[in-house]
Amino acid sequence: MRVTVCFYSYFKDLTGCTQTTETLPDGSTLDALFDKLILRLPKLAGMQKSTLMAVGVDYQDRTCILKEGDEVSLFPPVQGG
């Protein structure tokens, strides 16, 4: 399955892109996606503990099982106000 991954804030600088796609086996979790992304985008490795993850417009934890066509967003802690 293929998923789209979007980056926000300084994660765009770390990865050098605003968005990418990733191909994963069916039933893969957000955790598996992150591990695969690190192979291509190694600067994400240092952000593992502080990364917030969303699928669509809802926060999800790393055990979330992805499905074909999901839009995943990865970003650092938020700072509104």
Partner 1 sequence: MKRQLTLTTEPIAEPALLAQRSLSSGMGAVVCFLGVVRGTQGNASIRALEYEVFQRMAEHQINLLFDEMAKRWPVDSVRLVHRVGLVQVNEPSLWVEVVAPHRGEAFAACQWLIDEMKRVVPIWKKPVLSDP
Q: How far is the CB of 7 from partner 1 (least distance, A)?
A: 10
**Nearest 10 degrees: CA dihedral of 30, 34, 12, 74?**
20
Select the span of 24-32, 36-44, 68-76 touching partner 1 (CB under 8 A): 68-76
Q: How far is the CB of 32 from partner 1 (least distance, A)?
A: 22
Binding status of residue 79 toward partner 1 by CB under 8 A: yes
Question: Shortest CA distance to 13 belongs to which of 53, 46, 57, 56?
Answer: 46
Kindly list the residues in this chain that would bind partner 1 in the complex (CB under 8 A).
6, 8-10, 52, 54, 56-59, 73, 75-76, 78-81
